[in-house]
């Protein structure tokens, strides 16, 4: 029951975020919409930002799982593009918020988890230190998230082409001179 209430609060928060900026969403709005007491809200969350972080982490964990279960790299990358497309309205609202840095970081973390799984068998052949691998994965994750967010509103985007380009970059097959 407790986890159900936490999920209900998070889902209600997500619905509100579709309609208004995060800076305008209040605890009072959430407790009224959920028909819960203030005490119940604070039992599950510290504040609105805690709700945001929990909601986004939950969504990105599902995203990572789906990407890891995908049949191939293109299908996995498509999961990330679909996530950005599906949540574009919320993400656009968050871009302008004070907490954008944390949200972007959570998305980068999710992509990095996927990239670590993809790279597991290949990294040992490269003779890189653990630190070098972490920097490389972070670099690719930041780049991928940046590209996805850059195209968030691009209705003319050739998604298949972009996904193939991202895959080639990740796999080290796109570099001047290749």
> Tens digits of per-residue pLDDT, 11-23?
999 999 999 888 8
pTM over 0.85: no
Fold match, 2-47 / 49-170: no
CB 55 within 8 A of CB 13: yes
Using a pLDDT cut of 70, give the percent of the chain over it.
92
Tens-place pLDDT, residues 96-145: 777 788 888 888 998 898 888 877 766 666 677 889 888 989 999 999 99
Domain 2-47 architecture: Orthogonal Bundle (1.10)
Domain 49-170 has CATH 1.10.357: yes
Tens-place pLDDT, residues 57-72: 899 889 989 988 999 8
Alpha helices, H only, 70-129: 73-86, 88-95, 100-123
How many secondary structure helices (H) and strands (E) does the chain include?
Answer: 9, 0
Per-domain residue ranges of the chain:
2-47, 49-170
């Amino acid at each position: 029951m407790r986890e159900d209430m936490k999920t209900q609060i998070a889902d209600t928060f997500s619905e509100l975020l579709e309609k208004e900026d995060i800076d305008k969403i209040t605890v009072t709005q959430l407790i009224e919409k959920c028909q819960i007491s203030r005490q119940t809200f604070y039992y599950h969350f510290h504040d609105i930002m805690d709700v945001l972080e929990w909601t986004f982490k939950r969504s990105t964990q599902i995203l990572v799982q789906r990407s890891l279960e995908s049949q191939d790299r293109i299908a996995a990358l498509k999961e990330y593009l679909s996530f950005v497309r599906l949540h574009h309205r919320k993400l656009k609202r968050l871009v302008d918020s004070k907490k954008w840095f944390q949200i972007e970081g959570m998305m980068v973390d999710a992509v990095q988890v996927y990239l670590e799984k993809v790279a597991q068998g290949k990294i040992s052949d490269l003779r890189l230190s653990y630190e070098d691998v972490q920097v490389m994965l972070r670099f690719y994750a930041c780049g991928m998230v940046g590209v996805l967010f850059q195209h968030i509103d691009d209705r003319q985007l050739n998604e298949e082409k972009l996904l193939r380009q991202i895959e080639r970059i990740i796999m080290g097959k796109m570099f001047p001179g290749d």
